[in-house]
Structure 1
Amino acid sequence: MEQVTYKVSEVEHLERIDKLLSSMNEEWSRSQVQQWIKNDLVVVNENVVKGNYKCKTGDTITLTVPEPEPLDVEPEEMNLQIYYEDSDVLVVNKPRGMVVHPAPGHVSGTLVNGLMAHCKDLSGINGVMRPGIVHRIDKDTSGLLMVAKNDMAHESLVNQLVHKTVTRRYKAIVHGVIPHDKGTIDAPIGRDEKDRQSMTVTEKNSKDAVTHFQVLQRFKDFTYVECQLETGRTHQIRVHMKYIGYPLAGDPKYGPKKTIELDGQALHAGVLGFDHPRTGEYLEFEAALPKEFEEVLDWLEKRS
C-alpha cells in the first residue's frame, strides 16, 4: 500500500474532501475516494472523517492507497478518430476529457476500452490494464497517440522514444506574454516532495527533461506556443512552462484556476511522427485543434 500525505492550502479551504482528493489524481474517481473514506483509509489530522467533510486550511490529510485489484477490462464501442492503422500500429486522436487507460474505480469509458472494441490485437507488454499503450497524454490534453498492435511494434516504438527520435509537437496557450520568439527548457523533473501527486523541477530523484518552444501568437496577457518534446516526462510541458513563469492556461494543477473557458489545460498533441516498426518508413500525422481550443484563441484575439 502507498501512503499519501497532503496539506490543505488556503484556496482549498472548505472544499469537500472527496472532491479534493479525486482532483489530485486523474485515475482516482470520486466514488472510489468515497469508498476509501468509508473504509477508514483517509484521515485528517489523524482523525477519521466522512465524505462530506469540508477541509480547512492547514489540515493534514493522510490517504492510504490500497493495492489495485486485478480487473477485467471490457471492450466498449466508441467513435474513435483513427488517423492510421495497419497490422502493427495504430494512431488515434484522443479527445479532451478521456482517460487513456483504466484504473481501479475508473474501469470504463477510457481509450483502452474503445481500442479493445475496435481491434482485438493489441500488444501485451503493459499488461491487461494498458494493452497497446506505448505513451500517454493527460485526461484533459487532446491529441495524437501511437498504439502498438503487437509486441514487436511496442518494443520498436518504446526504443524510438528512449532514443528521442519520435516527433511530438504540442500547441498550448500559456499565461503571460513571452518576449522571445523561441527557447529551450532543460530542467530535470521529479515527484514534488510537498505534493506527491504533482511533478516539479528538482534535482532529487529526477530525470532529465528537455522542451523546445516557439511563440506562434501573442495576446494581451497570454501567449500561443508550440512545444516540441525531446523527452517525455509526466506533465513535462505543464511543469516546464510553469517553471519559466508561463503556466498553461486552464491548468488546475500547475496554473491559476478558471482564467479561460476551458475545462482543463489548453494543450493539444497536434503532431506525431515515428519510424514504422516493420518497414522503417517515417510516418507523420497532424490533428487539427479541437473546436473548444479554437474558440479560446478566437476569444483571446477579440479581447486583445
Structure 2
Amino acid sequence: MSEHYKVTENDQSKRIDKLLTEVIEEASRSQIQGWLKDGIVFVDGKAVKSNYKVQEGESITWHIPEPEPMDILPEDIPIEIVYEDEDVIVVNKPSGMVIHPAAGHYSGTLVNALLFHVKDLSGINGVERPGIVHRIDKDTSGLLMVAKNDLAHQSLAEQLSKKTVERKYEAIVHGEIHHEYGTIDAPIGRDPKDRQRMAVVDGGRDAVTHFRVLRHFTDFTLVECKLETGRTHQIRVHMRYIEHPLAGDPKYGPRKTLDLDGQALHAKSLGFEHPRTGEWKTFEVEPPAEFKETLKYLETREV
C-alpha cells in the first residue's frame, strides 16, 4: 500500500524519521527507521536515510509492507449490538476490550467477536480489521460504528473525513472547571519526549474538541466532549493540555487519582448519515457500571 505526504513550512528541516512518526500515527519511530533502511521511503522519488532533513514542498512516498497474515478466528464473545441492518452495525464496546488484533492481542478483540456474530464485514481494512471504520481506546467504553460492506465503509469513512459524524463522550476529569463551555483547538502529534504517547505539539495534526460541564464535584468535573476531529487519544491529550486530565488515565493522568481500570471516558452518543438510505441515525448508551459507581462515590463526598 502506497501513501504520500507533502512537506509543509512547519516541517522544514525535520529529520524524516521524526516527521513520519507524526504523520503515520500507528507506526513507531523504530518501524519507520526500518522502512527507511529497507529503501521503501522516497523523497521526490529517491530513497533517503533516517537522518535526511526534509524541505518544504518535497513529496514523501512510502510503500508499507503488507503485514504477516494472522489467523483471525471468530470467538463467541458476548457483545452488545445496539443496531444492525444490511450495511451497518453499531456496537456498545465494553471498557477493556481491544478493537482489532495486533501484536500481543490476537484474540479476545472486538473483531474476533464480530466475526462470530456477524455474517459479513467490509474488507477495506484487510483481514486484521474487517469492518472497522474508526476506533476507541481499549479502556474507553461506548459506541462504535462498523461497516458490513465496502459501500458502507467508504461512506462512513468519508463522513468521518468531512467531520459530519457526531460523536459525544462523557468524561470525569481532575479539577474544577469554572467555565461551562470551552473549545480546545490544539494540534496533536507524537510526544517528542515519549514516543508511546501523543501530545499537543507544533506542527501536529489539527485537532478540535468542544466540551461543556455537566456536573461539578470537589476536585473533579463531569464533562461532555464533542469531537470535531478524531486524533489518537484526542480527548485524553486535550484535557491534559488544559490541566484537567481524565480520572484513572494511566498514560496522561496523575498518579494520585480515582481507583479505576483505565480512564473515565465513555462514548455515549453517535450520529451519522446511513450509507444507503441517507437517513440520519442517532444512538445513545448509558455509561458502564464502574463509571456510574464512580459518580456515586463523588456524590457521597459532597455530603
Whether TM-score is above 0.5 comes out as yes
Measured after TM superposition, the shift of residue 257 of structure 1 is 2.6
Are 1:176 and 2:168 an aligned pair? no
User: What stretches of structure 1 move > 4 A for 4+ residues in a row?
Assistant: none
Distance 1:291 1:187 in 2: 32
Within 5 Å, which residues of 2 pair with 1:255-294?
Answer: 255-257=253-255, 259-294=257-292
Question: 8 Å contact 1:191–1:198 — kept in the other structure?
Answer: yes
Cα RMSD for the two superposed structures:
1.5
Distance 1:255 1:80 in 2: 29
Q: TM-score, normalised by structure 1?
A: 0.77
Structure 1 residue aligned with 2:229: 231
Counterpart of 2:178 in 1: which secondary structure? Answer: coil
1:113-160 Cα deviation digits (max 9, x unpaired): 000001121001111110000000000000000000000000000000
Q: Which runs of 5+ in 1 are unaligned?
A: 1-66
Identical columns (%) = 71
1:180-235 Cα deviation digits (max 9, x unpaired): 0010000000111111110000113x110000000000101000000000000000
Q: Which runs of 5+ in 2 are unaligned?
A: 1-65
Amino acid at match of 2:147: A
1:159–1:196 Cα change, 3 Å: same
Distance 2:152 2:118 in 1: 15
Measured after TM superposition, the shift of residue 70 of structure 1 is 2.0
Q: TM-score, normalised by structure 2?
A: 0.77
Structure 2 residue aligned with 1:110: 109
> How many pairs align?
239
Structure 2 residue aligned with 1:303: 301
Question: 8 Å contact 1:68–1:104 — kept in the other structure?
Answer: no
Measured after TM superposition, the shift of residue 261 of structure 1 is 2.1
Within 5 Å, which residues of 2 pair with 1:112-131?
Answer: 112-131=111-130
1:91-123 Cα deviation digits (max 9, x unpaired): 000000000000122100000000000112100
Structure 2 residue aligned with 1:60: none
Measured after TM superposition, the shift of residue 80 of structure 1 is 1.0
Distance 1:246 1:301 in 2: 19
Distance 1:258 1:237 in 2: 20
Amino acid at match of 1:261: D
1:228-247 Cα deviation digits (max 9, x unpaired): 00000000000000001100
Question: 8 Å contact 1:252–1:265 — kept in the other structure?
Answer: yes
Counterpart of 2:146 in 1: which secondary structure? Answer: strand
Distance 1:214 1:262 in 2: 23
Within 5 Å, which residues of 2 pair with 1:1-304?
Answer: 69-204=68-203, 206-257=204-255, 259-304=257-302
Question: 8 Å contact 1:93–1:144 — kept in the other structure?
Answer: yes
Distance 2:249 2:67 in 1: 28
Measured after TM superposition, the shift of residue 68 of structure 1 is 5.3
Question: 8 Å contact 1:69–1:104 — kept in the other structure?
Answer: no
1:83–1:122 Cα change, 3 Å: same
Distance 1:99 1:280 in 2: 30
Counterpart of 2:194 in 1: which secondary structure? Answer: coil
Amino acid at match of 2:230: G
